[in-house]
Chain A
Amino acid sequence: MRLALLTDIHANREAFEAVLADLSQRQINRLVFLGDIVGYGPDPGWCIDQVESFVAKGAVCLRGNHDRAVGVADNILNPNARRVIDWTVNRLNARQKLFLSELPMTVRDGDTLFVHASANDPADWLYVTSESTARPSFLVCDARLIFCGHVHRNALYSCDRVGRISHLKVAAGQPMPLLQSRRWLGVIGSVGQPRDGSTLASYAILDRTRNELTFRRVGYDATTTARKSREAGLPEALAQRLMKGI
């Protein structure tokens, strides 16, 4: 059983398509979307339709803070993000909005928990960026494997038998064994807006049979996305960050 974990697509059609093309060659049985289909990018409708069609075929999709913001007009997003969401709302049809509004905050699948942000209070949209911010996720549940997104950078944390949290560095493309002796928290990098200095789209493959996690990076045509973003009148900073991976 091989799962592809995708998160933070952020309405980036080109990146999403590149990731789908890459995973189609890798014997994937099931897709899991960890939230934030929309926001920041110029192609929200197309991305929702794609995810929705995968969900109809058995994929799992969670709700992210940008997905939530489509239906709620509060100020918890940064100004640029809020501007794009306001733009997005006018481009979605009723079915697409309904799809976003019905997404679950967490999904438990056997020993594995999927969530968009930190698992300890999913609706607070906390970032898991360090050993100390990873700890609460391990404390609130008994899942052996936890996967989240929201941070836009890959990271892997383990919690050993005495509860010590370690941030472990794993090279992209290298299958990392998720040792049975520990619990694991994988933060999956963003498909549509990578922020670790690389412009490559991120996703991960969880091999249930071999018990391994592999972070993958995929090149895509960021120039086109940036151009579409500018043509749509979205904030210039958002187009630029795609070209720099920041």
Chain B
Amino acid sequence: MSVQPHPGLEINGFTLGEQLHKGGFATIWDVTHALYRTPMVMKVPTILDGYDGPTIVGFEVEQMIMPRLTGIHVPRVMGQGDFAVMPYIVTERIPGNSMFQYFKRAPRPVAEVIELAARMAEAVHDIHRQHVIHLDLKPDNFLQRPTGEMVLIDYGLSRHDQLPDLLAEEFTIPMGTFPYIAPEQYLRQRGDLRSDLYALGAMIYELATGKMPFGQPEKLSQVKQRLWRDPVPPRAIRPDIPEWLQEIILRALEVDPANRYQSAAQMIFDLAHPMQIRLTARGHKTQRDSALTVFNRWRKMRNLKAFAAPPSVAAQIERAPILLVAVDLSPEAEPLAQAIYLQIKRMLVNRPDARVACVNVIKTARLGIDPTTDDAGTNLHVARLVGLKTWAEGIDLTDDRLTYTILENTDPASAIIDHAEVTRVDHILMGARGHSSTRRFLGSVSAKVVAEAACSVTVIRLRDSGEPEAT
């Protein structure tokens, strides 16, 4: 590096202003450019004298990955510089502090924890969809836009699973930030998106309790302990944390990636539907596991070389989709509901980690006050919920991977489309009414969903023996 950054330095049209931050591996500068009005920052790696391999390669990784990421959860790249003169990356400047400041004020009220957790998980899911695993998630690396979205920064340890892993050969020790890194990262595995979900779990734990689940280890041997030693259950620290939140946190912190959430979208789904989370021993737990349990785990884990890892980020997301099934529970639609039921069972054979959101829509009147009780006086909502659960009986999904939602809307298609959008559904499965006068007058719900939904839609239609429909 022949040029050192300093205020007033001009390079490739960028002019450096004040230094905003000085970290261990890089400095951050305020920069301007005659052609851009966006506020920007420049990150310049601090290269030690001689050959500083890890810093250089980390910066190469960042230069390789960041320009490939798009969207609101990633800072936009405005320019890059080469090592020949001065290495740098210029990105848009996200106003405000990182979540590091915010985490200092933990524990936070539960409602706030959920809101932030969901926003962080959204950002993580967004980069996962773009084939990138961050692998160094911590409060310092989340910035929040004024509009609320989280922005993920610092991709120096990240992995793009369709590009070579430049870091693989650079390090012989595990990389990452000790309080947050997943057990498989300790084992030097860098290809599992569920490592990021573990770090999210550790961060939500910290937000909710004010403590880090594994303290602040300084030595690798202390990091290794998380392969067998479980953290203090959050409710033991702060009893007003609901059991379902503890369930979410401890599930994310499961040692074996196979027992965690299988995608960030699934975690977001639970954060959005807390009442539907099926509690397990994780949620009820009031103290750490017994010495004997921990000892047995230690015997099993101490010589473990690796956990089973997914073949790729895309394959993992594909394995664990969220399927929305819209079911019509009316008596005349029974054969159709049955056909949908068989179809969903077939789909689950190929996607063992899928979760299924069963949805039924109560069509409300456009005007006036809607009756929420039917003629017999039963609460319609409850009746539909029972009907939906009865329909789904026999869909064999362990854990809490089956949920039920009753929506109310004047327009059933809009209700399904909106719900799919909000819960990040990957695939909608629904039936199409056969030929009927109703459809002619009201239009087809499935046609509208197919046309307007942001995800894939499968429409099930029964072959009808009746007369062909007039078009």
Contact = CB atoms under 8 A, between A and B. Distances in A.
Interface of A: 156, 160-162, 166, 168-171, 174, 176-177, 179-182
A99 to B, nearest CB: 38
Given A177-B163, A179-B63, 12 more contacts: A156-B164, A162-B53, A169-B164, A170-B162, A171-B163, A174-B163, A177-B63, A177-B64, A180-B83, A181-B56, A181-B63, A182-B60
A179 B83 CA distance: 10
- B contacts with A: majority SS: loop
A181 B169 CA distance: 17
Contact of B163 (A160, A170, A180, A181): A170
Contact of A168 (B51, B63, B84, B164): B164
Contacts of A181: 56, 60, 63, 82-83, 87
A168 B64 CA distance: 13
Contacts of B78: none
A168 B165 CA distance: 8
In terms of DSSP, what is the predominant structure of the interface of chain A? loop
B179 interface: no
B107 interface: no
Contacts of A160: 56
Contact of B51 (A156, A161, A176): A161
Interface of B: 51, 53, 56, 60, 63-64, 67, 82-84, 87, 162-164, 166, 169
A162 B170 CA distance: 13
Given A161-B51, A161-B83, A179 B64 contact: yes
14 contacts: A161-B56, A166-B164, A166-B166, A166-B169, A168-B164, A170-B162, A170-B164, A174-B163, A179-B60, A179-B63, A180-B83, A180-B84, A181-B56, A181-B87
A156 B63 CA distance: 18
A156 B163 CA distance: 11
A168 to B, nearest CB: 3
A181 B81 CA distance: 10
Nearest to A178: B64
Contacts of B60: 179, 181-182
Contacts of A156: 164
Contacts of B64: 177, 179
A111 to B, nearest CB: 12
A24 to B, nearest CB: 25
A211 to B, nearest CB: 10
Contacts of B164: 156, 166, 168-170, 176
B70 to A, nearest CB: 14
Contacts of A170: 162-164
Given A161-B51, A162-B51, A166-B169, A176 B163 contact: yes
